[in-house]
Chains A and B, each alone.
Chain A
Amino acid sequence: MDEASDFERILSLLTESLKTVDLTFDGCEIDVLGEPVENPTMEMFEQTGFKYKTYRLDPTGTVAPRSYNVAAPFPIVIEQTVERFIAGEPWQGTSEGQAIVEVPAGAYGRLRLTASERDSFTEDEVVTLREFADAVALGYARYLDIRDIQQQSELKSAFFASTVHEIRTPMNAIKGFTNLLLRRLENLADRQKENLEKVDQASDHLLSIVNDLLDLSKIEAGQMDITPGKFGVAEMVDLCVSTVSPLVG
C-alpha cells in the first residue's frame, strides 16, 4: 500500500468529519497538502519553493489528487507568513484576492482553506481549523500504529504456520518408520516392542498437537474449511466418549 492511498484514506475520513462539524467556512475550498519537503528552510523556499502533493476535498466526499509538485504556496507571501509556514504554524494570507489559511496536520500534511469572497479568516476560525487538523493528524497516527501492529501480527502468524508445517514433516517419518518396525519385526523382544509402542503413542500425541496448532493458524487466516455431511449422532457421541474414556481415572 503506497503513501498516497493511505493519505487519500485519511482524507476521506476528514471529508466525512467535515460534514459533521459546523466549521461555517461557507464558500471555501479545502485543499490538503501532503508530504511537504522535510525540514524546510528559508533558503529552500527562496530557491525552489516547497514541493507538495495536493489533494482536493470534494464536497461529495471523494478525494482526488489534484496536482503534484506544486511550487511555492502562492506568489505573494509576506515574510512573516513564510516564517510561520517553515515553523509549521498556522498562517494566513491573501493571494490574487483570495483569503487563504493553512494549518499543519501533524507530520502528515497541511490543511489549506481558500475563500474567494472574503479578505481574511477570523482568529476563531483559525483556532477551530487547527484543532480540527490536530484531531485528524492524531487519528491518522493511531491508524498507522494499528496498521503496523496488524502487519507484524500477520507476519508472526505466517511464520508460526510455516514452522508448524515444517515440524509435521519429520513427525510423519518418525510415525511411519515406527509403524514399519512394529509390523515387520515379529521377533522383537517384549521389552523392545513395548518401547516402540511408547514411541508410536508419543508421536501420535505430538502429531495431534501439531495438527491442532495448524488448525489454529487456519482459523486465524480465515481458511478453515468446513465439509458438511450427514452422519448418525449416536455413533459419533459413542466414538467421542470411547476416545476420551481412557482419561477417566
Chain B
Amino acid sequence: MELVQDVAEDIEEANTDKVRLQQMIINLLSNAIKFTESGTITVTARSEKGNQSAATPTHDSRSPSEALAQEGPHDLRI
C-alpha cells in the first residue's frame, strides 16, 4: 500500500479552523489506511477556480454510504 501527496503548487492559504480540519483529514486517512487492502491512497489538495465568495465546497453527489458501499477506488472530497 502506498500513501501519496498531490498538492497543487499554486495552492492558496486556507481560512478555517486548522486543528479541526487536521483532525478530519487524519481521521479520514487513518480509516482509508485501515480499510484498504492494497493500492494507493492519494491526498489531493487544490484551489477551486473563481473568487473566494463564489467558491463552494465540492462534494461527492452520492450519499456517503452509497459511495463507501461500492467496490474499487473511492473518491471522498471535503
Restricting to A202-233, which residues have a CB under 8 Å from any CB of B? Answer: 215, 226-233
CB distance from B39 to the nearest CB of A (A): 12
> B12 within 8 Å of A by Cβ?
yes
User: Is B17 a contact of A228 with CB atoms below 8 Å?
Assistant: yes
Tally inter-chain residue pairs, CB-CB below 8 A: 67
Residue of B nearest to A232 (CB): B13
Docked-complex contact B12 and A241, CB < 8 angstroms: no
Given A237-B7, A238-B5, A244 and B26 contact (CB-CB distance below 8 Å): yes
**Nearest-neighbor residue (CB-CB) of A227 within chain B:** B17
Find chain A residues with CB under 8 A from B25 CB: 236-237, 240
Residue B1 at the chain A interface, CB threshold 8 Å: yes
Q: A244-B3, A247-B34 are in contact. Are A237 and B13 (CB under 8 A)?
A: no
Asked if residues B17 and A226 are in contact (CB atoms below 8 Å), the reply is yes
CB nearest neighbor in A for B41: A248
Q: Which of B30-45 contact A (CB under 8 A)?
A: 30, 33-34, 43, 45
B67 contacts the other chain (Cβ, under 8 Å)? no
Query: Chain A's nearest CB lies how many Å from the CB of B19?
Result: 7
- B residues near A170, Cβ cutoff 8 Å: none
B1: nearest residue on chain A (CB-CB)? A248
A195 at the interface (CB under 8 A from B): no
Partner of A227, one of B2, B19, B22, B34: B19
Q: Evaluate whether A240 and B13 lie within 8 angstroms (CB atoms) in the complex, with A245-B3, A247-B34 already known.
A: no
- Write the B7-31 contact mask toward A (1 if CB under 8 angstroms, else 0): 1000111111111111101100110
| A228 and B15 contacting across the interface, CB-CB below 8 Å | yes
Q: A240-B29, A244-B29, A247-B34 are in contact. Are A230 and B15 (CB under 8 A)?
A: yes
Taking the closest CB of chain A, its distance from the CB of B53, in whole angstroms, is 15
Nearest chain A CB to B57's CB is how many angstroms away? 14
Given contacts A233-B45, A248-B3, whether A241 and B29 have CB atoms under 8 Å apart is yes
User: Closest CB of chain B to A84's CB: distance in Å?
Assistant: 55
Show 20 A/B contacts (Cβ-Cβ < 8 Å), sorted by A: A215-B23, A226-B20, A227-B17, A229-B16, A229-B18, A230-B14, A232-B14, A233-B11, A233-B12, A233-B45, A234-B7, A236-B25, A237-B25, A237-B43, A238-B5, A241-B3, A244-B3, A247-B30, A247-B33, A248-B3
